[in-house]
Chain A
Amino acid sequence: GESVGLHLPTLSVQEGDNSIINCAYSNSASDYFIWYKQESGKGPQFIIDIRSNMDKRQGQRVTVLLNKTVKHLSLQIAATQPGDSAVYFCAENGGGSNYKLTFGKGTLLTVNP
């Protein structure tokens, strides 16, 4: 069945370090992927997205890498800051004509000052 999972449930880094959060997906029909950040008590916020015809996309301090061969997605955060502390979710659209996001369980990122 469809599933999106995360390799690491928690990640602790020092301020200024780079962070890498990984995600595996199983639905090969998915052609659109999103990373969301969720701070405590808030709704998920969009960070960056990538379509399946790309293998890398960069934003401000963030980069998403997509490896369709092994169905793997990663989020890289450069120079991690305390404000980056949150739960990060990857999501896939499942392909098809109807858009439905399937989320993984999330990775808790803690940035130590």
Chain B
Amino acid sequence: DSGVTQTPKHLITATGQRVTLRCSPRSGDLSVYWYQQSLDQGLQFLIQYYNGEERAKGNILERFSAQQFPDLHSELNLSSLELGDSALYFCASIPVTVNTEAFFGQGTRLTVV
């Protein structure tokens, strides 16, 4: 158990809909990262938050947004969903210090039908 909790584990929704994925980082970790993993892709970095503030953006679509709350949990919002958004979405957290391992949650499998 990595200590990073993601909910829900599975999500099936229709095209055009909006969903929210939730992540609780490890206790004490201030940084949260979101990654997308499609069938034929590696882990694509989406966005990073540090102590409530956006720190870096990767290949995140405009239809996607995220935030980190005062209790440090984070939510990834995906809207106007398309079939191609079907993927595994992972959240990871790291302690305050840099250059250390990132701990990953078990992921949310999103299926858009």
Q: Which residues of A contact B (CB under 8 A)?
A: 31-32, 34, 36, 41-46, 49, 51, 89, 91, 93, 97-106
Contacts and interface: CB of A to CB of B under 8 A. Distances in A.
Nearest to A42: B106
Contacts of A43: 2, 4, 90, 92, 104-107
A99 B43 contact: no
Given A43-B107, A106-B42, A101 B102 contact: yes
Band of interface residues on B:
20 to 34
Contacts of A93: 98-99
Prevailing SS type, chain A contact patch:
loop
Contacts of A45: 2, 104
A43 B91 CA distance: 9
Contact of A100 (B2, B4, B58, B101): B58
Interface of B: 2, 4, 31, 33, 35, 41-45, 48, 55-56, 58, 90, 92, 94, 98-107
Nearest to A43: B104
